[in-house]
Chain A
């Protein structure tokens, strides 16, 4: 078998979708998106979470996906290890919290752009001095940054100190109609008229509208991510990640692009923090502990850094599995740690590595084959 046939046989799902005619592709995408919109209403058995509200879990998964997409820009595209990503998440959440409560009482939609901007500025403030130092140090400096943000929130009176901030503003409602959930108790799907979700009412008990909002944001960011990755900026990031000196020699202002990656990552992180704040309507420093940053990095690496679909899968696993298996609550961090070790050992490129890695490995194999021939 020649290498071309080999490559054709090994086409990934993404490539197959990419090879479809455009109308089909769009239809498939829309169907997949629609499925995810109705998923919390379906509450399918096995997938639904018995111990926790399924809508809330789906919201968590969606925000994790958003965070993973943002962190993927920093870690996957630009190759910068950020262990304090929760800092940006916290800046976004606290900005929304402060602006919609206290003296400001801004509407949520007005607070979000400011929150996102604040997160971006904090990203630039952190990045400008530290991106010049070596990559390994960046990890520890960002780790410190995440802790500093949390400690500042914990020690500052107008940020609520350890008590946190209550009654964070909600997005505007539009009571249109009610949709019933499905009930699988009898073994077959039945419409449950008792259990309804109002489209679109951002209440307290029903978390599904927040999930829809987060999912919409995820889809928008996915589009933006696709555009950026294939643009000059995306190529500059890739070049910087692979070889910073070579990129610099080729005329890529690497520092600027690293800073840009940091700012964009912070943008997305702040956005998901803002969503989180409005959903829980209550935040305190405990919501932004360091372990979250590590979970975020784990989501990106487990999924396959550099591949936007991979990191979404990773985020879904990290966000969903612990909730699904709440019965084993005490053991879940242990299992999670074991899973990380096993994955790192046996599948270091992540569950869904980016296509470029596969291609690179193919070239490597061809090189090896050639070398083998010459020595034989």
Chain B
């Protein structure tokens, strides 16, 4: 127990925790929405995120971003990278729904079987990325794509086109532009999704299916469309999270999604699964708690702290902090 270290670094730990937490929150959104509508754990959502990180990285690489890129060019590149990450993640999420979920849902398969299917899909997606060198060689494109596919199992570096600009100090931590950008846009996006679900016509459909799929279908809600939109929103948000992730941590890998996915799901459960605001709260709390925990007990206990927190919350408040259910949350 290193309480002194925690107290000395409380501002740094809190702010970096909040930044990581907002990435968790954005990924958690995908878990929580799919769970709210289908009552299923979308195990492959972590790979949706992983594809986003690669889309962002490859976009900047393809545009030739380096340290020397001018500020204006860099901002344009990053914007394109964000769009690319969101599009790729959204597309992967849609494919996932079509291939791994819809055939099973149509047959009313038991939940466990759908989970197995999504675990399978998760393996397939991760391995395709991990084997991209072999696959491109098979197709004969390995020469032209060699910059992107060599050493497919290793870390891929995000070109550092922008240096974080120090903006102001909180305590002894210099808040930089990237931290502020991530935290601000994550919260904005979460608010946007929340408002979409609460106010729009499609959002009403989502809530209706979450509450009672059969009645919703009888009332004319196209549940397939609703499920698609749910996956799409989750994918778009995971793509944004992926962009912020590579921007902040500047590195990605074919298996980057797994542990982050587990954490994000933990965040969703923490806040109350199916609850959008819960996902935000859960993500932020988890990020900060992890940082405090690793300050107290050492970095190697970081993940243990996260899981213990989850167990404790479930013991004392089994529905999560804000209560569960997408349909019921202030409908």
Q: Using a CB–CB distance below 8 Å, which chain A residues touch chain B? A: 75, 81, 129-130, 132-134, 136-137, 139-141, 143-145, 147-148, 151-152, 154-155, 290, 294, 297-298, 301-302, 305, 330-331, 333-334, 336-341, 343-345, 348
Say which residue of B109, B110, B310, B318 sits within 8 Å of A144 (CB atoms).
B310
Which B residues between 16 and 37 are near A, CB-CB below 8 angstroms? 35
Q: Shortest distance in angstroms between A354's beta carbon and chain B's nearest beta carbon? A: 13
Say which residue of B41, B112, B273, B314 sits within 8 Å of A305 (CB atoms).
B112
Q: Shortest distance in angstroms between A162's beta carbon and chain B's nearest beta carbon? A: 10
Whether the Cβ atoms of A348 and B123 lie closer than 8 Å is no
Residue with the greatest number of chain B CB neighbours at <10 A, chosen from A75, A129, A341: A341
Q: Which residue on A lies nearest to B117, using beta carbons?
A: A344
Q: Shortest distance in angstroms between B110's beta carbon and chain A's nearest beta carbon? A: 7
Q: Using a CB–CB distance below 8 Å, which chain B residues touch chain A? A: 35, 39, 41, 99-100, 103-104, 107, 109-117, 119-124, 127-128, 131, 134, 258, 262, 265-266, 269, 273, 298, 300-301, 303-304, 306-308, 310-311, 314-315, 318
Cβ contacts under 8 Å, B124 to chain A? 334, 337-338, 341
Taking chain A's interface residues, is the majority helix, strand, or loop, or is none over half, making it mixed? helix
Residue with the greatest number of chain B CB neighbours at <10 A, chosen from A81, A140, A147, A297: A140
Whether the Cβ atoms of A334 and B131 lie closer than 8 Å is yes
Whether the Cβ atoms of A334 and B301 lie closer than 8 Å is no
Q: Shortest distance in angstroms between A328's beta carbon and chain B's nearest beta carbon? A: 11
Known contacts A155-B300, A331-B131; A348/B120 CB under 8 A: no
The list of the 7 closest CB pairs from A to B, nearest first, reads: A337-B123, A340-B120, A144-B307, A344-B117, A334-B127, A337-B124, A341-B120
Q: Shortest distance in angstroms between B254's beta carbon and chain A's nearest beta carbon? A: 11
Docked complex Cα distance between A341 and B104 (Å): 10
Whether the Cβ atoms of B104 and A333 lie closer than 8 Å is no
Docked complex Cα distance between A134 and B318 (Å): 8
Q: Shortest distance in angstroms between B147's beta carbon and chain A's nearest beta carbon? A: 21
Given contacts A151-B304, A344-B117, 20 further A-B contacts (CB under 8 A): A81-B115, A129-B315, A136-B41, A136-B273, A140-B41, A144-B308, A148-B308, A154-B300, A155-B300, A298-B119, A334-B128, A337-B122, A337-B124, A338-B120, A340-B116, A340-B117, A340-B120, A344-B116, A345-B103, A345-B117
